[in-house]
Amino acid sequence: MKKELLMASALVSTLGAASVAQAVTATFAGSQKVGVEFDSPDNGTDTNAVLDQSNFSISLSETTDAGTTISSSFGVIDEGASDIGDDDNAITLAFTDGTTLDLLNAGNASGSHDITVPGSGGEEGVAGTSTNKAPTGLDFAAGSTPLGVEWHSADDFMADGLKVSVSFSTDSGAAGSATAVIDSSWGVGATYVTTAGDTDLTIGAGISGADVTTTGSAAAGGQEGMHFGVSAVTGDLTIAIGVADGDSFNAASTGNAGSNIDIDGSVAKAGISYAVGDDITLALGVVSGSAKDGVFGTAGTTDDSHDEVDGSVTYTVADGVSAVLGYTSVDQNDEGASDDTGGSAWYVGASMSF
């Protein structure tokens, strides 16, 4: 009990001193999104569900006498079932020359530069079978561990409009097990911004790699890949395309029948959004992913696929308040055969943010 009292006293004293000094600047933001999803699977019963999503984040920063800004953040996410602490934020150092350095939970530099492709603003989705490994995101091959760093250049690095990032992460030193984990990773990414007439162009690309281990030894599976994308903005119109190709893995789990799964995949995404005046935004996106998957050491021979079309209409009711109508249609194949877990889904909801 004495130790607990001493620890509590020290904590209270520290917090009290911090509150008096008021050194760190704190800002916060949040949102509340409530809606209903109507799900119509290809082979099954139509269902509907109310989706309640809340997000609250706090950002902390302070600048040293030398001009270096030290910042981090944390958040609380409520997806309607449980409260989740957002604990994967890095400590970021921003230097006077415009460069920044992320320490711990830094992520992968390749994934930091993938292009944002327009798509539905709703929360609807069609759940596929757990054995379908076709990727749907451009950064599916960009893995990392929490023990990592990521360096970002200043703007206009070596050329006007160019920004680059480099990352590296290493393992935690924990005892290995039969479940595959990333042992170390690296990544390089770049974004180039330019103009062509009245159009603003953003080009993003990245490459990455990671070593994977099981029971302390190098595994037959791995994670490495590349992505490339272009976004064009002309007035209220945004068009973007992106492609990615590489290898990834899923660790042993019930959905994988207890096996580590190696995934050789690729994905292409395209989307368009258009702002009609100040109140309405129309968005349409398509996704086409494919993969061959197999147990570590055994190459896959048949394709998984995921083909998706989604769109939404977002109407601004008032500052910070929006109404959303979204729709998604998905067609899937698993191991070369038609997969009845596809279907369509509607979403009607509203969001409030501050």
In a domain, 74, yes or no: no
**Residue 130: predicted pLDDT:** 67
In a domain, 55, yes or no: no
Residue 38 has pLDDT above 90, yes or no: yes
- pLDDT 10s digits, 132-156: 889 999 999 999 999 999 999 999 9
What distance in Å separates the CA atoms of residue 114 and residue 190, rounded to the nearest whole number? 9
Place 16 in a pLDDT band, splitting at 50, 70 and 90. Answer: very low
CATH of the domain at 208: 2.40.160.10
What distance in Å separates the CA atoms of residue 131 and residue 124, rounded to the nearest whole number? 21
- pLDDT 10s digits, 163-210: 999 999 998 666 667 788 888 999 999 999 999 999 999 999 999 999
Place 87 in a pLDDT band, splitting at 50, 70 and 90. Answer: low
Closest Cα to residue 288, out of 302, 271, 308? 308
Query: In which domain, by residue range, is 335 found?
Result: 102-353
In a domain, 39, yes or no: no
**Residue 20: predicted pLDDT:** 38
In a domain, 72, yes or no: no
What distance in Å separates the CA atoms of residue 208 and residue 210, rounded to the nearest whole number? 7
In a domain, 58, yes or no: no
Q: How many of the other CB atoms lie within 10 Å of CB of 275?
A: 16
In a domain, 82, yes or no: no
Quote the number of domains for the chain.
Answer: 1
What distance in Å separates the CA atoms of residue 14 and residue 156, rounded to the nearest whole number? 42
**Residue 19: predicted pLDDT:** 39
**Residue 5: predicted pLDDT:** 36
Average pLDDT of span 232-257: 89
In a domain, 65, yes or no: no
In a domain, 276, yes or no: yes
**Residue 314: predicted pLDDT:** 97
pTM of the model: 0.83
